[in-house]
Amino acid sequence: MGIADFPQIRELSVSEKLLLVEELWSEIASKSESLEIPDWHKRELDQSLEDYKRSPQEGSSWAEVKSRILSRG
């Protein structure tokens, strides 16, 4: 299934498409308990946690990352 299955989507403005995405995401989030988390996601998260436990001083805080992202604009 793709956009080609819903041709009216192509006629929407960017703002309307963003609103549609927000609506879709809210719908998905409201049913998140039914979503399966792939095993490879779980393994990746476990690995990230282990990396953090071994070297908590490595990496950046969210505040630092956010600041770098916002300063690029």
pLDDT at 36 over 80: yes
Alpha helices in 1-73 (DSSP H): 14-30, 39-54, 62-71
Q: Are 3 and 10 in contact (CB under 8 A)?
A: yes
State what percent of residues in the chain have pLDDT above 70. Answer: 100
pLDDT at 73 over 80: no
**Is this structure's pTM higher than 0.75?**
no
pLDDT at 13 over 90: yes
DSSP 8-state class, residue 56: T
